[in-house]
Structure 1
Amino acid sequence: MDLGWEEALRKFQNVMVLGTKPLKMEAMDKLSRFSEHVPKHVLSPAIPILTEILAKSIPNDPSPSLQEAAAYCLMCISCRGDGVALAIEMGTHGVTHSLIRLLPHSKGTMQEVLIKLLLVLVNFSNESRITVCSGGGFRVIMNLLNSHNNDNIRLYLLEILSMLGLQKYVRNELMRLGALHLIVEAAGTGSMISRERACQSIELLGGVPGETEHELLELGAVPVLVQLLRDGDKITKLIAAKSLRRLSVHVDGNTRPFTQAGAIPLFVELLQGPDPYGKGIAEDVLSELAVREHCAIEIVGHLVRILREGDHESKVSATNVMWDLSGCRISSPVIRDSGAIPVLVVLLRSGTETVMENVSRVFAELSYDGADRLALAKAGAIPILMVLLHQGNEELRDNAAEAIFNFYEDPLYHHRVSHAIYVPSFRYIRDRLIRTRTSNGHMTSSSRRMSVEHLIGNLQDFL
């Protein structure tokens, strides 16, 4: 330390070329201890020297070995506060190749040092990530994960896996090897940034056609992701929400993992949050989970509370979800029985334009069911819908006309809305709906006729 840095570097280089093993060990020990204080321009020339020692097989080198000392010194250099550029430089000098070669045969402290160094390199260096994936390193990591019981070592390996999982090749290999449980485990342990990366990998895995999503559900991905949604920072919450949205599309009625993990209140919270992107994700997930009656009851209960107490943006999101649910055979009766319709009627009368448009969509959808028409009529929706035929914007007029048309065709309510026939917007929607019904009926008849003719043709060929 009494020497200038340039002179210290020259002496270090001379020792590493000409010195005895004890002198080399001492020089690397000093560089490791002072690496945080040594300027980067002095550390950079030391990297190829240390890399050469790491790559060189030294026969009968007892512990502590020169290779272990070189690996530890490189790890100290890569871990300094501004060590990103140095870690990238290590990747270009071939340090990653040496780590992959040494890891399968390493044990104890040496193995831990190599794994820690590899973790730093794959975090900071894209070239190192590519080297691991293309040079057999991924299989080395997998073998170590499958054989290691040391919790600390396993944690480092899972953090490496979470970084590598962003590579398509690694995700394909995880599926091929039946090792998706490891990426789920990685999402549940380690640093938050590492768990976040594993969470991203789960979302990307969920985008692969096939049974991947169902396997992730069975492996317990949902509670792990819900925990991230609960405890993560703003970015982590959004990433976890995106992954859960991907899995929610494939629930196929099995909503238990989501309900048991407490996902619904968290997505309701996201629905009321300030982030528009988060609101959109929450709308999608809540709509998907409402396929079971008990979920629909819980979700609609939250939506009614938001419609009563929420701010404008939250009400817009809540009515968006209501619109999705109003067309569902399971959740439509839940809306009717929840007391939501009188609240929606109030919003149709005095809400903001966007909220009124969403509510009018809900009423247009509900009006196709007789029990829902009764609930709408009792709540006083008909007079407001009739007014909107004249006073609303185009969206409101069209939705109101669709709802009124269904009342118009119902003998119980025809007399209350019969004068709608004199309103041009109503006649336009009526004619359009009639054409649509006729067209659908024609298509059904044509399809049935084609199927019969096809069957007859096959029978004739057979005979």
Structure 2
Amino acid sequence: MDGAEVHESSTSLDVDTDWEGMRETYLKLLECGSEVCRIRGTILLGKRSKIAPETVLEPLVPILVEHLDVAQFDHPRSIQEAAAYCIMCFARRSDNLCRLIGQSGAVQHLLRLLVQSEAGHRKTLARSLREIIICSSQNRMILIRHNGLQVVISLMDSSSGTTRRCFAEILSAMAMLRDMRRAIVGTGSLPLLIEAAGVGVMASRARAVTAIGMIGRTRTSRQLLVDAGVIPVLVGLMREGDPTLKIVAANTLGIVSAHVDFIRPVALAGAIPLIVELLEGTESIGKEIAEDVLCVLAVAEENAVAIAAHMVTILRQSNDAAKAAAVDVLWDLSSYKHSIPVVRVSGAVPLLLENLQVGTAEIRERVSGAVAQLSYDEDDRRALADAGVIPILMRLLRDESEEVKDNAAEALINFSEDPLLRERISEAFDTPTFQDTVNRLVRIHRTDEHINQSLRRMADEQLAREHEYG
């Protein structure tokens, strides 16, 4: 074909309606066109594949994969890179095409080309392999069967820039498989996985962070992760990530913080204010994770003081959902045995009582539970009484919520056992509602005791049988 024919053939691929004609033109181009013509046509095909029907593209997949293995041309690298680019575009087009590409052998060919290529010629090949791998679990298994993890780790280690980022995204996808996570730990490649958590698209980062969380469930692995610098990376993702990534990063931070030695480093890295932001967010799962992580971090007294101060701020000025979550955190903090009464000194008590009176039904339930918990401590109990909680609790005995009534009665019972406060609640003893609630709580307590006794008896019988039959 001369130059005019090449131009005509190439531009004829850019047809919006005659897709069958486009395919036939491309096939003729491969059959009798020059290398330049084939390269241009293949690149143009990739660009047009965004809107072409899948039925037109499917028969071309094996042909493109074959072009990854060409050696008869004067410039095979250019043909291979053009085919890799087109395959990448096809993989982005649909999951079905992506699976077909893997079944046609593209993964093996791309791996071989990447191993043989110099660093400066890996970019297109790496981008193509990334698209094939991230969209299909079947393709990931093909990659694994061909020693893909070791190859990807080696290539990532020797690459830079965009190419290194592609390998990082491939690594994060592979790390979703348990055996691959074990291999990553075993080969000392955790630093690369942590790096993958900080680069690439948000979805890839989330995969890496999720894998890190799964790895961090054992004490030994947590130590390895911390030594490799995972804490500042996770905190950075909570600061800069999208909403989903922030939630995943917070969850993994909670896993890392599960060891007492790492609680303070997580807080010192600036995690607490970021987790509080998550608590005030709109995602319910984010609130739950934030509550859990804050309660883990609060094991350290200085963290508990900082967290309580944030919860007070939320009670003063945030939305109802955030207030309810903050009350839950304070409820948990009230049971911690620190050298100082964290909840009381934070100034939370007046705000709790305010929300106990004017808050939503959900907030009243949670605050009443927190008050009941606080009432078990002598100093907290008297601080509550001085703040005026007793008449509020007596009014709550008539609340519509059974949980609120139960919590109020539980707190009043604790007040009644305090010699200095018993007189203040004497009138509650004559209230039928109070008596009814107390009687119900007694029945529940007896039922719980009966269940516990039954469980203990069953356990004893099981142990006896195991001993008898050896």
Q: TM exceeds 0.5?
A: yes
User: Would the aligned equivalents of 1:205 and 1:213 in 2 still touch at CA under 8 Å?
Assistant: yes
User: Would the aligned equivalents of 2:84 and 2:128 in 1 still touch at CA under 8 Å?
Assistant: yes
**For the residues of structure 2 that align with 1:370 and 1:313, how far apart are their CA atoms?**
30
Counterpart for residue 466 of structure 2: none
User: Would the aligned equivalents of 1:31 and 1:73 in 2 still touch at CA under 8 Å?
Assistant: yes
Counterpart for residue 389 of structure 1: 397
Which of 221, 226, 229 is matched with 1:212 structurally?
A: 221
Q: What residue ranges of structure 1 are gaps of 5+ in the alignment?
A: 451-463
Which of 275, 278, 281 is matched with 2:289 structurally?
A: 281
Counterpart for residue 455 of structure 1: none
- 1:128-166 superposed Cα distances (whole Å, 9 cap, x missing partner): 2111122211111122234x1534432221121112222
- 1:76-109 superposed Cα distances (whole Å, 9 cap, x missing partner): 3423696345444321210111222343333244
Counterpart for residue 49 of structure 1: 63
Displacement of 1:194 in angstroms is 2.3
User: Would the aligned equivalents of 1:402 and 1:429 in 2 still touch at CA under 8 Å?
Assistant: no
Work out the percentage of aligned pairs sharing the same amino acid.
Answer: 37
Counterpart for residue 460 of structure 1: none
Which of 117, 130, 134 is matched with 2:128 structurally?
A: 117
Structure-2 change in CA distance of 1:315 and 1:79 (3 Å):
same
**For the residues of structure 1 that align with 2:188 and 2:179, how far apart are their CA atoms?**
14
User: Would the aligned equivalents of 1:36 and 1:77 in 2 still touch at CA under 8 Å?
Assistant: no
Structure-2 change in CA distance of 1:331 and 1:94 (3 Å):
farther
Counterpart for residue 379 of structure 1: 387
Q: Map residues 244-263 of structure 1 onto 2, 5 A cutoff.
A: 244-248=253-257, 250-252=258-260, 254-263=262-271
**For the residues of structure 2 that align with 1:164 and 1:315, how far apart are their CA atoms?**
40
Range that drifts further, 44-53 or 298-307: 44-53
Which of 2, 14, 18 is matched with 2:8 structurally?
A: 2
**For the residues of structure 1 that align with 2:112 and 2:375, how far apart are their CA atoms?**
69
**For the residues of structure 1 that align with 2:423 and 2:341, how far apart are their CA atoms?**
26
User: Would the aligned equivalents of 1:382 and 1:404 in 2 still touch at CA under 8 Å?
Assistant: yes
Displacement of 1:340 in angstroms is 0.9
Counterpart for residue 237 of structure 2: 228
Whether 1:173 and 2:183 are equivalent positions in the alignment is yes
**For the residues of structure 1 that align with 2:303 and 2:211, how far apart are their CA atoms?**
28
Q: Map residues 368-447 of structure 1 onto 2, 5 A cutoff.
A: 368-391=376-399, 393-422=401-430, 423-425=434-436, 427-428=438-439, 431=442
Which of 86, 90, 93 is matched with 1:83 structurally?
A: 93
Range that drifts further, 319-328 or 170-179: 170-179
**For the residues of structure 2 that align with 1:113 and 1:281, how far apart are their CA atoms?**
39
Whether 1:101 and 2:109 are equivalent positions in the alignment is no
Whether 1:307 and 2:315 are equivalent positions in the alignment is yes
Structure-2 change in CA distance of 1:75 and 1:173 (3 Å):
same
Size of the alignment, in residue pairs? 433
**For the residues of structure 2 that align with 1:419 and 1:438, how far apart are their CA atoms?**
30
Structure-2 change in CA distance of 1:7 and 1:430 (3 Å):
closer
User: Would the aligned equivalents of 1:242 and 1:281 in 2 still touch at CA under 8 Å?
Assistant: yes
**For the residues of structure 2 that align with 1:286 and 1:51, how far apart are their CA atoms?**
51
Whether 1:150 and 2:160 are equivalent positions in the alignment is yes
Structure-2 change in CA distance of 1:177 and 1:393 (3 Å):
same
Counterpart for residue 298 of structure 1: 306
**For the residues of structure 2 that align with 1:80 and 1:114, how far apart are their CA atoms?**
14
Counterpart for residue 151 of structure 2: 140
User: Would the aligned equivalents of 2:67 and 2:79 in 1 still touch at CA under 8 Å?
Assistant: no
Amino acid at match of 2:26: L
Structure-2 change in CA distance of 1:330 and 1:72 (3 Å):
farther
**For the residues of structure 2 that align with 1:278 and 1:382, how far apart are their CA atoms?**
35
Amino acid at match of 2:144: C
Counterpart for residue 454 of structure 1: none
Structure-2 change in CA distance of 1:218 and 1:382 (3 Å):
farther
User: Would the aligned equivalents of 1:47 and 1:74 in 2 still touch at CA under 8 Å?
Assistant: no
TM-score normalised per structure 2 = 0.81
User: Would the aligned equivalents of 2:87 and 2:128 in 1 still touch at CA under 8 Å?
Assistant: no
Range that drifts further, 150-159 or 104-113: 104-113
- 1:26-83 superposed Cα distances (whole Å, 9 cap, x missing partner): 5234422553137566655444234234346x4xx79x64255224323234236963
Displacement of 1:267 in angstroms is 1.9
Which of 329, 333, 337 is matched with 1:321 structurally?
A: 329
Displacement of 1:232 in angstroms is 2.2
Displacement of 1:188 in angstroms is 0.9
Q: What residue ranges of structure 2 are gaps of 5+ in the alignment?
A: 1-6, 13-21, 461-470
Displacement of 1:375 in angstroms is 0.8
User: Would the aligned equivalents of 2:328 and 2:366 in 1 still touch at CA under 8 Å?
Assistant: yes
Counterpart for residue 200 of structure 2: 190
Amino acid at match of 2:248: I
**For the residues of structure 1 that align with 2:445 and 2:65, how far apart are their CA atoms?**
78
**For the residues of structure 1 that align with 2:400 and 2:287, how far apart are their CA atoms?**
27
The alignment's C-alpha RMSD in Å is 3.4
